[in-house]
Amino acid sequence: MKERFSRQTVIPEWGEDSQRIISEARVLCVGVGGLGTAASQYLAATGIGTLGLIDADEVSVSNLQRQILFQESDVGEKKAVAAGRVLQKGRADLRIETWTESLTTKNVDEIFARFDLILDCTDNFQTKFLINEACVKLAKPWVLASANQWEGHVAVFYSPKGPCYQCYQRAVPTSELPSCERTGVLGAVVGIVGSYQCLLGLRTLIQLSRPQTTLTVSFGEILFFDFLKLKNFKTHIRSQFDCRVCGALAEPIDWGPQDFEISPAEFSRRIQESTGIPQILNFSGQTFSKFSPIKIESLYEPDFLAGYQKDKEILIVCDLGHIAKEIVPALREKGFTKVWSLRGGHGAWLEESRRETYA
């Protein structure tokens, strides 16, 4: 086994000490898509001791263009299971733990407590906020990554030694995180960003175990990639005194029970049975169930929510469902306890309507 890693242990900055640290480390990849498959492959190959994989999705044909761990025969299988099987074949002594469920407020603390480092390989703000709060609470370092079209960015957060993600992303985003399905992405782009995420993770593990090492990272520094123009730049986040997560006046944030989504089929059924949701915030840009579209910026108007009753159900609709999930926790913090988001957004509802029409 020593021969297997000889090409990296011979590097002066790495050596046997770093290899020992890595071999004893436990790393969790949240999401096993384009970023997660790239990062997990190099984590395993580098010699990480225990690798955790959590993802509720199944492999689809459209994933194969960039999620290079998977093959056509894996289509329909849970990503975490398929990825774990492939990685185990590549390294028999690798310890793998998998979860075929979503990360929620109910399981995040228990899962994260098992690991030394978290890699955020997700594509939605809700999970990134959840990861950030849990890592601050448990004092865990984590590596953020995101990729879309020709662009990507990465950052390492470790609140005892720097700012947290919410020091940077302080308010509810006014636009959805671009999805690969909607805007596209090159496989090589997520491959590079995922590999860089892995490298930052390895350096973080070594730095925290060997403070004298030259393999350091700067906590709170975001590196942006522009692969179209072949340029990159950095920016550093400052810790915010009034941050709701890591600031001096921080209080635990209740992100809700994570079961706040309603499927298009359920919504259609309730409309047919005249038990529909009486209040709808439609941010999809198109008319939805006779509700005209509203600009997302309206949420920041002081009196915008005054016309909505806190004790009655509210459905939030957007184009693909991502930003609706991000708005739910913000409204619940304001006392709206019966807020739901439409799973898959306006597009999924249209597809459900067509299915009902031709059924």
As a whole-number percent, the residues of the chain with pLDDT over 90 amount to 50
Name the phi and psi angles at 272, rounded to 5. -65, -35
With contact defined as beta carbons under 8 Å apart, do 91 and 1 qualify?
A: no
The tens digit of pLDDT for each residue in 156-187 reads 999 888 999 988 887 555 444 555 555 678 89
Lowest-pLDDT range of 181-185, 231-235, 239-243, 264-268: 181-185
User: In the chain, what are the domains?
Assistant: 3-236 (3.40.50.720), 261-358 (3.40.250.10)
The tens digit of pLDDT for each residue in 34-67 reads 999 999 999 999 999 999 999 999 999 988 999 9
Q: Which residues pair with 52 in a beta bridge?
A: 28, 97
Global model pTM greater than 0.85: no
Higher pLDDT, 216 or 39: 39
For 311, the token pair is 């004790």
CB atoms within 10 A of CB 102: 17
Q: For the residues 316-335, what does the mean pLDDT come to?
A: 74
- Taking each helix axis from N to C end, the angle separating 34-46 and 79-90, rounded to the nearest 10 degrees, works out to 30
pLDDT at 359: 47
Instruction: Give Cα 141 to chain centroid, integer Å.
Output: 15
pLDDT at 298: 75
Q: Which residues pair with 224 in a beta bridge?
A: 153, 233
What is the number of H-type helices and E-type strands within the chain?
A: 12, 12
Three-class secondary structure of residue 119 per DSSP: strand
Q: What distance separates the 2 farthest-apart alpha carbons in the chain? A: 71
Cβ within 8 Å of residue 272, ≥6 positions away: none
Name the burial class of residue 172, with classes exposed (0-12), middle (13-18) and buried (19+) by CB atoms within 10 angstroms of its CB: middle
Higher pLDDT, 310 or 104: 104
Decide if pLDDT at 21 tops 70: yes
